[in-house]
Amino acid sequence: MIQAGFGETAADNSSRWPAIPSKLQHGAILLAAFLCLSACAQLPVPSTTPAISHPTTVNPRYVETGIASWYGRPHHGRRTASGTTFNMWAMTAAHRTLAFGTIVRVTNLANGRSVKVRIDDRGPFVGGRIIDLSASAGRALGIAQQGTARVRIEVFPADQG
């Protein structure tokens, strides 16, 4: 006889555990695993709190429409009117009256593209234009080739730090 453990023989052990077909054993194991896992799962609880709706559009505190232009390489590295160094790759702009540091959303009315820029310089100094954009902002708006475009500039209170 083969020793089964704790002084029992294999013959004694087999009489205590009836033979179960292999497929039935696998099915029982899968069922037990499924029941254990499903007991741990949580059902979604319906929300009793109403959803908070945020307005998708907020009235800007300042709006202006007109022609924008961009400036770049000849001014790159020079001091701006605010005292910072002009970086043609930064998202900045020049405006005649808006305070330095103001964040402005500029939208190209021809293609709908918009960017946010920080006012850090004075200008433009060409008649009929309302804002001078850095080269990077001009490129993002799609006006790098033609040089100018009709835009809308908006100042939103939420954008100001």
Q: Where are the domains of the chain?
A: 62-159
Distance of CA 93 to the CA centre of its chain: 24
In a 13 Å sphere around the CA of 125, the CA atoms on its Cβ side amount to: 4
- Predicted confidence band of residue 18 (pLDDT cuts 50, 70, 90): low
- Which one has a higher pLDDT value, 99 or 43? 99
| 2-6, 87-91, 110-114, 152-156: least confidently modelled range | 2-6
From residue 130, alpha-carbon distances to 49, 70, 80, 149 in Å are 47, 11, 17, 11
Retrieve residue 155's tokens: 């100042």
Report yes or no: 69 and 133 within 8 Å, Cβ to Cβ. Answer: yes
- Which one has a higher pLDDT value, 3 or 128? 128
The tens digit of pLDDT for each residue in 61-113 reads 999 999 999 988 888 888 999 999 989 899 999 999 999 999 999 999 999 99
| 19-23, 60-64, 81-85, 115-119: least confidently modelled range | 19-23
Q: What is the CATH number of domain 62-159?
A: 2.40.40.10
Do β-strands 103-108 and 3-5 pair in parallel, antiparallel, or remain unpaired? unpaired
Report yes or no: 133 and 144 within 8 Å, Cβ to Cβ. Answer: no
Report yes or no: 159 and 105 within 8 Å, Cβ to Cβ. Answer: yes
Which has the closest alpha carbon to 118: 128, 105, 127?
Answer: 105
E strands within 50-127? 62-71, 92-94, 103-108, 114-121
Residues 6+ apart with CB under 8 A from 48: none
